A and B are shown apart, each in its own frame.
Chain A
Amino acid sequence: LAKTTQPISMDSYEGQEVNITCSHNNIATNDYITWYQQFPSQGPRFIIQGYKTKVTNEVASLFIPADRKSSTLSLPRVSLSDTAVYYCLVGEAGTASKLTFGTGTRLQVTL
Chain B
Amino acid sequence: AAGVIQSPRHLIKEKRETATLKCYPIPRHDTVYWYQQGPGQDPQFLISFYEKMQSDKGSIPDRFSAQQFSDYHSELNMSSLELGDSALYFCASSLTDGAGEIYEQFFGPGTRLTVL
Nearest 7 CB-CB pairs, A to B?
A43-B107, A46-B104, A93-B103, A98-B45, A96-B31, A101-B42, A94-B99
In this assembly, does A45 line the interface, its C-beta being within 8 Å of a C-beta of chain B?
A: yes
Contacts of B79 in A (CB 8 A): none
**Interchain pairs with CB closer than 8 A, number:** 70
Residues of chain B whose beta carbon lies under 8 Å from any beta carbon of chain A: 4, 30-31, 33, 35, 42-45, 48, 50, 55-56, 58, 88, 90, 92, 94, 96-110, 112
Contacts of B94 in A (CB 8 A): 96
- Interface class of chain A by DSSP: loop
A52 to chain B, nearest CB (A): 12
Contacts of A38 in B (CB 8 A): 43
- Which of A34, A94, A103 has most B Cβ within 10 Å? A94
**Contacts A94-B100, A95-B96, A104-B42; is A44 near B56 (CB within 8 Å)?**
no
A82 to chain B, nearest CB (A): 18
Contact of B33 among A95, A98, A104 (CB under 8 A): A98
**Contacts A45-B107, A94-B96, A95-B96; is A101 near B43 (CB within 8 Å)?**
yes
- Output the nearest chain B residue to A97 by Cβ-Cβ distance: B56
B98 to chain A, nearest CB (A): 6
Interchain Cβ contacts under 8 Å between A and B, 24 examples: A38-B43, A41-B110, A42-B110, A43-B90, A43-B92, A43-B108, A43-B109, A44-B107, A45-B107, A93-B102, A94-B96, A94-B98, A94-B103, A95-B103, A96-B48, A96-B55, A96-B56, A96-B96, A98-B33, A98-B45, A98-B58, A100-B45, A101-B42, A104-B42
